[in-house]
Structure formats: C-alpha cells, structure tokens
Amino acid sequence: MNLKVIFGISLAMSLTFACKNEPKLSNDATAPKVETEKEASAFDYNVEQFADVKILRYQIPGWENLTLKEQTLVYYLTHAGLVGRDIMWAQNYRHNLKIRKALETIYSNYDGYKSSDEWKSFETYLKRVWFSNGIHHHYSNDKLKAEFSQDYLKTLLRATNAHLEGEAFEVIFNDQDSKKVNQAKGVDNVAQSAVNFYGPNVTNSDVEQFYKNKKSPSPEQPLSFGLNSKLVKENDQLKELVYKSGGLYGKAIDEIIKWLKLAQGVAENKEQGDALGLLIAYYKTGDLQTWDDYNVAWTAATAGNVDYINGFIEVYNDPIGYRGSYESIVQINDFDMSQKMKVLSENAQWFEDHSPLMDAHKKKNVVGVTYKVVNVAGEAGDASPSTPIGINLPNANWIRAAVGSKSVSLGNIIEAYNNAGSTGRLQEFVNDSEELELEEQYGQVGDKLHTALHEVIGHASGQLNPGVGETKETLKNYASTLEEGRADLVGLYYLYNPKLQELGLVDDWKKVGMAAYDGYIRNGLMTQLIRLNLGDEVEEAHMRNRQWVSAWVFEKGKNDNIIERITRDGKTYYNITDYEKLHDLFGQLLRETQRIKSEGDYKAVEALVETYGVKVDQELHKEILERNAQFTDAPYSGFVNPVLVPEMNDQGEITAINVTQPESFKSQMLDYSRKYSFLKEEN
C-alpha cells in the first residue's frame, strides 16, 4: 500500500493522506551537487505550474553519508526503475505511447508560430499528459480535455512529419474511453474502464470466473493471481499475457534485469543481494511463487542504508483490484528520523492489543513490522511524477502475518511539500483562530505521525476470519477504499492518545490529536472537493475513504453535536465540539471496518461506501469551488527527479556520483523519452 498526497489541499493546509502513486535528467546536466546545509535554505522547491498541476523538486539529504559503493547501488537501482517507465504508460491506456511520441515529435520539431492560444493549449496538454503518464487525469481518471482543435493538431502533425491517425488521433477529441478506471456501482467496471489491463471484450464476470478456477498450491499462502499479466480473449477463450522477459513488455523488462544485475553486484549485504536475485528471477519467468519468495526475502532484508521498490505492485488502477501497476522508488535512510520513529515499530503489539477491534480480529503476534523515514533518490512508473509520501509493503496478507512488512515515510518528499506551499487556503477554510493556531503549531507533527500510524500500525493490524478469501475477492471494487479507510482510522484512533506522549513522540498529545482531527474532518467534508468538477461524484478510492470516514462520524455524532456545521457570512465551516467523543466514534467505525474486512462482508462495505463516500453535496461543492477560486496554487503536485551523474576513470570505473537538478520539467520528460523508450507503440 502507498500513501499519496495532493499538495494544494493537503500539505499546504494540513497533510492529508491517501495510501497509495519522477522524472530525471540527462547526464550533461550542469546543476550543482546536493546543497550544503547553508545552501539548502535557499533551495527553490518550485519548478513550474500549469493547469491544475504544480511541479516541484526535492533534495537527497544524507547522500554525502553514503559510501561510493552505496551511491553506485542507488545509481543502478534508479536506472532499473526508469528503463521500465514506459510500461506504466502502456498499462494506463493502449494508445498512450503512440500519442506521446506524436506529441513529443511536434513539440521538439515545430518551428512555426508559438505565441498563439492554440499552441499554448497544445503545450499545456502535453505537460498534463506527461504528468499523468497518459491521456487520463492521474487522480480523477477522467480523460484530459484538449483545448485545441483537430484541425490545429493535423496542421502540427503535417508541419513536423509526425504521425497520429485513426482511433489514437480521434480519442483525443471524442467521448470514447472517457474513464481510465470506472468504479461506479451498477456498471461493468472492467468493460467501462480504459486502463490497458484487459482485452476489449473482457467483462467483470469473465475475470471473476477465470480466477475463481485458479487454486494456489498452498491455500494458506494464496498467490496474487493476475498481478503481473493482461487478461485477453482469443478465439473466445480467456488468456493471460504475462509481463516477463520474452513476454508482454519483455524488451523493457530485459533492461530492468540488466540494471538489477548491476545492482546485485554492489549489494550492501547477502540478504539484499539474495532478494535482488529473486526479483531478477521473477522478471525472467513471471512466476508468482517467485514473486512471493522475493517479497519474503525483501521484507526480511532490513539491514543497510539503501532500499528500493520495483515491480508490478499497487492495484488501484485495476477497477476490480487484481493487476499491479509498474513502479519504482529508490530510498536511502534518513538516519536521524528513522531512529526516532523506530519506537512505533517496537510497540506495534501494544497498539494491536489496545485497539477497539473485536478480539477475534486482533493479531496475537504482530510480526516483523519495520518503520523508517527514508529519503527518495529516484522514482519511476506509477510513483512519478505524482508520488506517494508513505509506503507499506508487501501487500499480501499472509506475508504480512507470517513475516511482517516494511513501512516507510518519504521524508524529503514531505519536506519539499511543506516548503513549497502557502497558508492562504488554510486560513480560508479553518473555522476560527484556535483551529488555525493548532494547525500551524501541531499540524506537521500530526501529519508525520498519521503517516506512520497508517502504514506501520494500520496496514499491519487485524486479521481475516478463517476461511475468508482475499479482500480483493470478497470486497471486489470496494477493497481498496475499505483498506485505506481502515488504516486511516487506526491512525486517527491513536493520534488522540496519551501513549504517543508516553513514547516520547510528541510533547502535547492532546493538541496534536486535536490538530489532526480538525484537518481530517476539514479535508474529508470540504477541501478535497476542489479536486472535483461541479456535478462529479467521488470515484477515486482514497478520496472516497476520506469522505466516508468523515461523513459517517459527522452523521453518527449529530445527536450530540460532536461536529457542528456552521454557516457564517454565507460560508460553511465544520467545528469539532468534543474530541473525546469523536475519538470514540473513530474507534467504533474502525471496529466495523475491520469486521467487514475480516468477514468479507460485501453488502456492508457497499452500503458504507455508497451511502457516505460517493455522493457530493452540490451546493456545498459549488461554494467550496467559489471560495477556492482566489488561490493560484494548483491542487495537485508532483516532482522532477534529481539526476545522478557518474564520474568515470580511464578504465570506465565509477569514481564519484554527483547529484544535479534537471533544467525543467519538459527537459526531463523529453530526456526520459530519448533514453528509456524500449516498447513498441501498441502493447
């Protein structure tokens, strides 16, 4: 699971979590090395802004503390991620790579008039496509709207000898494939989603029946069927096209393998090297048992200063939660913060024992939970340009129960968010000066703790009842939003608890909890709505979970007026009147969400999400959009990556690796396309 955040609404106001999903530059970059402490204070985190997106940059604190061998390992792992970048584009939509190539050819070669409104619209559209890894919005899943005409695009294509025709051209302007991921109730989610995980004639029932007939060798250790394949129909028969060397996406996977082998050669220790060997074997064969073996080894490999994520992992882009999106994140330890946060991992059992869950749903032995604050050194695929801020892996429930998991918070990403925003939007939506003061003084520490609690305690908490199938099978299209809401609730329940102060994590547990509760309710009931167009329903899994959590406690607390809705000067505010009772409501909802997961209660999760998480109060939404119009900060943010530039001796050996920053977002995107394009246009 990973936590994704939307900058303009979250860290600028109060970090808001969504679990979840970057580019790099050419080797001839001339930007300076990582800044010294003195230089860091002047570091400019902002790159540019367009449409609803803000592009930021991040530093790599602690780079100078790594040995050359460790830096080389990072260098190889970042390349192993980037060479698979186009897999994410192909997974997102079948025409994405063809469209990107045509648009980039135009952008690089057009020498005509570039001051017209249509050219500016074309440039913005291309940047949005870059940011979303395709023609569908990275968050809403709606198809991006082209604000230029078909005739203008044809003119640009002719002028640059670029080629784009047929369905790939027409889909930019028509209503076809309008939703990348459609999780609406009452539709065939697979058939109505444009994401390229399924063939054109595959339906929900096809998928369910196909995997119903598959049996794992060990029922107690179920394989993640469907995670690394595309399901298609050939001659009316269902067939998996497996992602592997020699299979689907094979040329890119061969490049991943090449760089992983180099990384294995400079591994920090045997455990890390063995895990990399299993990952290489998995990419060669596509064997899901090898994937599980790799995850067990990777989870146990906790020594060393460098770690990574690489593979087909998160299933948010599959409308029914089987198939994993390609992603890569390379991390180095935040040596100071990891030590401070280690205390949560060491007390994981206490949190489980004291949770409001039914006894039958509590784990008797929370195994192997590790939590670190890390600094990102490079990202690719589903993690870039829109990045998580926290990660808990592996996702398989049986591995979590038997071996444990790794939980990390991406410290330098959070730092970049915190230093790139403003407080204007926060001041607009807080109810009073007390709420503003709490957020300004305690909001950031509450945010960091919520990330930690969500990942290391939340996702590790609870267990399924004997005989209950995997959550993706029992809860289907509601599995992701239920799991993220459940982990959020674990964090919320313990954020308002003196145990945090007893463990030395906060100086004033009550005020930290109050700030966290204020921020969560404010965002869940109001401010996240600025991400939606008026008239939209909530569809994205993480937005849904924030709304159903907030709306449920608001409704259940009405009799006691625990959260009051205030109208003042035509503006709506929410004010928490009793934090103790709200804490109890979070506990009640946590107990119920765990019951739903443990029992696989589909009817209950459907009722919960559809009642509280989907519908939008249109009058309130209109008001929120009008109030937000005064702010120029974009609601979404993502990142360019630093570029690692090696110095070589005459023997071709790496003698140093310098950290530079890309010139611009467009230069990094074009550079990536030149260097890391290994797939054909149609996959």
Q: Which two tokens stand for residue 176?
A: 């076809």
Amino acid 372: pLDDT: 83
Per DSSP, 18 falls in state B
Chain CA centroid to CA 96, Å = 20
The span from the first CA to the last CA of the chain, in angstroms, equals 27
> Contact 319/190 with Cβ under 8 angstroms?
yes
What are 619-677's pLDDT values in tens digits? 999 999 999 999 888 889 999 999 999 999 999 999 999 999 999 999 999 999 999 99
> Contact 58/642 with Cβ under 8 angstroms?
yes
**At how many degrees (to 10) do helices 117-132 and 150-160 cross?**
80
Amino acid 3: pLDDT: 65
ω into residue 394 within 30 of 0, thus cis? yes
Query: Closest Cα to residue 678, out of 21, 77, 88, 76?
Result: 88
What are 495-516's pLDDT values in tens digits? 999 999 999 999 999 999 999 9
CB proximity list for 569: less than 8 A, separation 6 or greater:
none
Amino acid 547: pLDDT: 98
> Contact 582/643 with Cβ under 8 angstroms?
no
Which segments of the chain have a pLDDT < 50?
A: 6-40
Amino acid 26: pLDDT: 25
Chain CA centroid to CA 306, Å = 21
Q: C-alpha distances in angstroms, 589 versus 479, 584, 594?
A: 16, 9, 9
Nearest-angstrom CA–CA distance, 87 and 381: 7
> Contact 13/428 with Cβ under 8 angstroms?
no
pTM of the predicted protein model: 0.78
